[in-house]
Amino acid sequence: METFSWRRLNGQRIKLPIREAVEKTLIEESRQNHRLKVCIGTDSQVHGNHTEFATVIVFLREGRGGFMFISNDHTYRKLSLKERMLLEVGKSIEVAYHLCDLFDQYAVDMEIHADINTNPQFKSNIALNEAIGYIIGMGFAFKAKPDAFASSSCANKVV
């Protein structure tokens, strides 16, 4: 997990280990009386012989906007669409699992967003059942397209 390199949307590197940075953020936001919800999502794009991934931790302030932490990585493995969709979900679960006890400790709701369409007419739907089972089986709340903005909008903008 600590092999992930994290930054803010403005490009500022997060120098603390992500767990410490998230806890510091939760404490600061609590001091400002902001009620938070966290959404974690990953998106990917295939570029020739490699696939780029972006994983985001989106902090939503109830009625006051939000901000996100971003991690980018890539692979040179050839992936099928289903494998790529499940790898996205796996990256989100890895981050969520690493941080979920902090969210419990600070009473912050958290959900995982999967960039998988619920409409069977779309190709990504091929991984929907496995993704739902994986996320729910880990005990996390789940959103898919069109409600999965953390992956389909936020991560999509930074991949």
Q: H or E element: which one contains 145?
A: strand 141-145
Helices 18-31 and 81-105 cross at an angle (nearest 10°) of 50
- First-residue to last-residue Cα distance in the chain: 19
Query: How many domains does the chain contain in total?
Result: 1
Give domain status of residue 137, yes or no.
Answer: yes
Asked if residue 38 is part of any domain, the answer here is yes
Residue type, 128: L
Per-residue pLDDT reduced to its tens digit, 136-158: 999 999 999 999 999 999 999 99
Domain limits for position 23 = 6-158
**What DSSP letter does each residue of 9-56 carry, written as one string?**
TTS-B--S-HHHHHHHHHHHHHHTT--EEEEEEEEEEEETTEEEEEEE
Asked, for residue 130, whether it belongs to a domain, the answer is yes
Q: The domain that contains 72 carries what CATH number?
A: 3.30.420
1 within domain boundaries: no
* pTM (2 d.p.): 0.94
For 73-93, the pLDDT digits (tens) are: 999 999 999 999 999 999 999
